[in-house]
Amino acid sequence: MIPATVPTEAIFDRGNLPDESRPVHAWDDEGESLVLWRNDLRRARNIEGFKEVRERRQIIGVVPGGGWMTEWQDPNDGTSIADPVVAWAVYSDGEARPIDTDSTGEACLLLPSDKDRRTYHPGQIPAVPLPGDKSPGRSKKDG
C-alpha cells in the first residue's frame, strides 16, 4: 500500500443528489485508489456509483474582497439585498470564490451553483440580471 501524498478524491454519482466526494487515503499495489468506506479501506472503483479519481482542490490562500459585492433577492418580498464580499478563497487550480458573512457574522463560502445570486464590482454592469430586474445594473428604485 502506498500512502496518498497528493490530495486526491474519488467521485461517486448519487443519482438525483449531488455527487459525493471521498478522499483517497492510499493506493494499493496495483495502483487502485483506496477510500474509507464503512470503517474499511476499499477500492473506490468497487463502490457503487464510482465515476472518477481526481486531484482534490484545496484553498491555498485568502485575499481581501477588494470592493466586490454580492447581491440576491429576498424570496419573501423580492427586494434586492447586497453585501460586500469580505474576501476571496483562492484554490489550488486557480479558481477564486467569494466569501460573504451571514447575519451573525459567520463567514460563508459562496457556491458557483447559486443561480439567484450575482457577484460584481461596483461601477461595472453585471452580466446577468437577477430574476425580476428589468435592466442589469439598475435597482428597482432607480427604474
Give the domain extent around 102. Answer: 59-120
pLDDT(128) > 80: no
Q: Is residue 127 part of a domain?
A: no
Give Cβ neighbours of residue 12 (< 8 Å, ≥ 6 apart). Answer: 19, 20, 21, 22, 44, 47, 48, 49, 50, 51
Burial of 137: CB neighbours in 10 Å, binned 0-12, 13-18, 19+: middle
In the chain, the number of structural domains is: 2
Whether residue 141 lies inside any domain: the answer is: no
Q: Could you read off the pLDDT of 72-123 as tens digits, one per residue?
A: 887 788 788 889 999 999 998 889 999 998 888 898 888 876 777 888 888 7
- C-alpha distances in Å from residue 76, one per residue of 50, 73, 79, 80, 92: 40, 9, 8, 11, 38
Dihedrals phi, psi of 42, to nearest 5 degrees: -130, 155
Do both 49 and 92 map to the same domain? no
- pTM above the 0.75 mark? no
Query: Do the domain assignments include residue 98?
Result: yes
Question: Which of 125 and 92 is assigned the larger pLDDT?
Answer: 92
